Amino acid sequence: MEVTEQSERRTARALYALLDLAKALSSEIDLDSLLKVIEEKASSVVEAERTNAFVLDSARGLPIGVAGEVARTRSVVNIVDAGSLLAVPIISSGGELLGVLQSMNKMTADRFDDDDESLMMAVASHVAVAIERARFTALSIENERLAAGLKLASEIQMRMLPSATVALSDDSPFEMHAYIRPAKMVGGDLYDFALKGNRLYFCIGDVSGKGIGSALVMALTKTLFRANAAYYADAAKLMEAVNVRLYEETGPTMFVTAFCGFLDLNDGMLRFSNAGHDRPFLLRRDGTVELLESKPGLALGVMPKFRYPLQDTTLARGDALFLYTDGVTEATNASEELFTMERLRDTLEGCAGDSVVRVLEKAIDAVDGFVEQAPQADDIAMMCIRYLGVRRRAAAFDRNLEELPRVMRLAERLDQAVRFPVELALEEIFTNIVKHNPAGKSNIGIDLDIIENEVVITITDFDTPRFDPIADAPEVDIGQTLENRTAGGLGIHLVKKMMDRIEYSHQNRTGTITLRKRMN
């Protein structure tokens, strides 16, 4: 009787302890904290002195001794040796061995009995669920952390690239736009550019491979280009400097193709160097498309002492350079067909008169329209730079013919075709003002702007009575005989012939003449 009561009391206590364990397990998700709870609660369930939970770890292999035997045989061991010992396997619902639960030294008896075995098996099944849950939680936290890390890496990488849409003033001597779309969260394509005085430095590059490794080399390459571009004004020297460092810093299988250049914004002179990169296209102002002939140097990071060739070409006002990575031409549709350089060229030939932003939009649309639903296999990068030239020059001049050479300098950057008529107009109007209003107390201001396809010259005399050189100039009869010809009015006559439009306005002693001349 007494024995039964004792036994019932014990069973009830064990069940409470088991419930307590289950409750504790459900609130613990960290594996290490979980093991502590298991060891403490399991001991009270089977009245053991202490309990150890061995969780199998693929890195460490099976435990030794009794626990090892339990792991191997997946069966219960209940023995009395130096003390009593009860060990049970922890097996998941899917049948996977997760570990071994081992209690030592039954405190209320010499050995663990059948009830203890049953209780330990019950504990082990709770522990299995808890371990699986902890592992799953840890895995999903890790995944989340990885995803968040990758998202951050992607953001950092995008931030490394200068903003693709460059806000430029109306009279900027160039316009440019860049686009990049990695195939994965992070990519190996890069571009860079910076304005250095009157020169625009730019580069585009493609790191071999894809994924995190390429992304790290991309970051390194971009940094090397930017840092060295501050020191070198020579595209070939810049390539050489980046190449040496890339060779030192990257493994033998990693390489980078790149194209870099410096565009002189005063005269359109483009000096460039190519390191195994796809040749850029030249988009001429008239809409024709050419490949920029360039010697393909070796890709960066392959050979430490490679001499990269320096080449040059001149961009006329309105000409643009289109650079891209092979993710564009090798974009693949569902039928495994490549976009190809020919399709890219066709697309660019349909971009006459488009802004650089529009050119990239059309190119991206063409690639996407071709690829349709097929997944993007490689990173895509494009950059378009259009040379516009110095579009606004302005200066103030003394009321003196000795200023003429300075006045002429306003026109020095113009294309040959318009330079002559513009110089003639500047000279004739300026000398006209100096001769007719020598007493004026102000400077004479001259602005030369290029607006769209037109040169607009504004000449302002800030201290003058109303004098319209065009309306007030004597008529010239070009049919007159030599004896009757005079030089009077000849200058204004030529200006009228050579300019497309002339306007005069006068207000508060300020007279302004505006002349316009179309460029081709």
Partner 1 sequence: MLDISVGENDEIILAGRFDAAEAEKARQIFLNLTDAKVVDFARLDYISSAGLGVLLAAQKKLSERGKGLRLINVNGHIRDVFHFSGFDQIFEIG
Q: How many whole angstroms separate alpha carbon 244 and alpha carbon 232?
A: 14
Please report how close the Cβ of residue 435 comes to partner 1 at its closest, in angstroms.
Answer: 10
The verdict on 490 binding partner 1 (CB under 8 A) reads yes
Q: What is the DSSP letter of 402?
A: G
Which x/- pattern, by CB under 8 A, does the window 418-447 give for partner 1? --xx-xx--xx--x----------------
- Within 8 A by CB and 6+ apart from 214, the residues are 186, 187, 188, 207, 208, 254
The verdict on 116 binding partner 1 (CB under 8 A) reads no
Kindly tell me which of 290 and 415 has the beta carbon lying closer to partner 1: 415
Please report how close the Cβ of residue 419 comes to partner 1 at its closest, in angstroms.
Answer: 9
Q: 375: helix, coil or strand?
A: coil
The verdict on 5 binding partner 1 (CB under 8 A) reads no
CB 422 within 8 A of CB 457: yes
Q: Could you tell me if residue 353 is left (phi over 0), alpha (psi between -120 and 50 degrees) or otherwise beta?
A: left
Q: What are phi and psi of 35, to 5 degrees?
A: -60, -40
Token pair for 465: 């009575």
* Long-range contacts (CB closer than 8 Å, 24 or more residues apart) made by 362-366: 363/322, 363/324, 363/328, 364/179, 364/181, 366/339
Placement of tokens 């390191």 in the chain? 275
Which listed range, 106-114, 115-123, 311-319, 489-497, lies at the site for partner 1 (CB under 8 A)?
489-497
Kindly tell me which of 291 and 417 has the beta carbon lying closer to partner 1: 417
The verdict on 167 binding partner 1 (CB under 8 A) reads no
Q: How many whole angstroms separate alpha carbon 158 and alpha carbon 227?
A: 18
Please report how close the Cβ of residue 459 comes to partner 1 at its closest, in angstroms.
Answer: 15
The verdict on 498 binding partner 1 (CB under 8 A) reads yes
Instruction: Give the Cβ contact number of residue 410 at 10 Å.
Output: 19
Q: What are phi and psi of 272, to 5 degrees?
A: -140, 165
Placement of tokens 């209780």 in the chain? 119
The verdict on 373 binding partner 1 (CB under 8 A) reads no
Residue 175, Cα to own-chain centre: how many angstroms?
18
Q: Which of 145, 358, 497, 501 binds partner 1 (CB under 8 A)?
A: 497
Q: In 3D, which of 254, 258, 257, 236 has the Cα closest to residue 306?
A: 236
Kindly tell me which of 258 and 429 has the beta carbon lying closer to partner 1: 429
Please report how close the Cβ of residue 487 comes to partner 1 at its closest, in angstroms.
Answer: 4
Please report how close the Cβ of residue 488 comes to partner 1 at its closest, in angstroms.
Answer: 9
Kindly tell me which of 328 and 499 has the beta carbon lying closer to partner 1: 499
State the amino acid at position 244 in one-letter form: V
Please report how close the Cβ of residue 399 comes to partner 1 at its closest, in angstroms.
Answer: 14
Kindly tell me which of 158 and 408 has the beta carbon lying closer to partner 1: 408
Please report how close the Cβ of residue 269 comes to partner 1 at its closest, in angstroms.
Answer: 22
Which listed range, 272-280, 386-394, 417-425, 500-508, lies at the site for partner 1 (CB under 8 A)?
417-425
- The site for partner 1, by CB under 8 A, has a size of 28
Q: What are phi and psi of 472, to 5 degrees?
A: -85, -10
Q: Which of 373, 482, 507, 508 binds partner 1 (CB under 8 A)?
A: 482
Please report how close the Cβ of residue 416 comes to partner 1 at its closest, in angstroms.
Answer: 9
The verdict on 479 binding partner 1 (CB under 8 A) reads yes
Kindly tell me which of 91 and 498 has the beta carbon lying closer to partner 1: 498
The verdict on 480 binding partner 1 (CB under 8 A) reads yes
Please report how close the Cβ of residue 494 comes to partner 1 at its closest, in angstroms.
Answer: 6
The verdict on 74 binding partner 1 (CB under 8 A) reads no
Please report how close the Cβ of residue 462 comes to partner 1 at its closest, in angstroms.
Answer: 22
Q: How far is CA 167 from CA 158, 222, 351, in A?
A: 18, 22, 21
Kindly tell me which of 29 and 404 has the beta carbon lying closer to partner 1: 404
Q: How many whole angstroms separate alpha carbon 363 and alpha carbon 311?
A: 27
Which listed range, 62-70, 225-233, 326-334, 484-492, lies at the site for partner 1 (CB under 8 A)?
484-492
Kindly tell me which of 148 and 401 has the beta carbon lying closer to partner 1: 401
Q: How far is CA 403 from CA 111, 388, 406, 429, in A?
A: 116, 28, 5, 13
Q: How many whole angstroms separate alpha carbon 213 and alpha carbon 388?
A: 39
Please report how close the Cβ of residue 276 comes to partner 1 at its closest, in angstroms.
Answer: 44
The verdict on 401 binding partner 1 (CB under 8 A) reads yes
Q: Could you tell me if residue 53 is left (phi over 0), alpha (psi between -120 and 50 degrees) or otherwise beta?
A: beta
The verdict on 475 binding partner 1 (CB under 8 A) reads no
Binding interface with partner 1 (CB under 8 A): 401-402, 404-405, 408, 420-421, 423-424, 427-428, 431, 476, 478-483, 485-487, 490-491, 493-494, 497-498
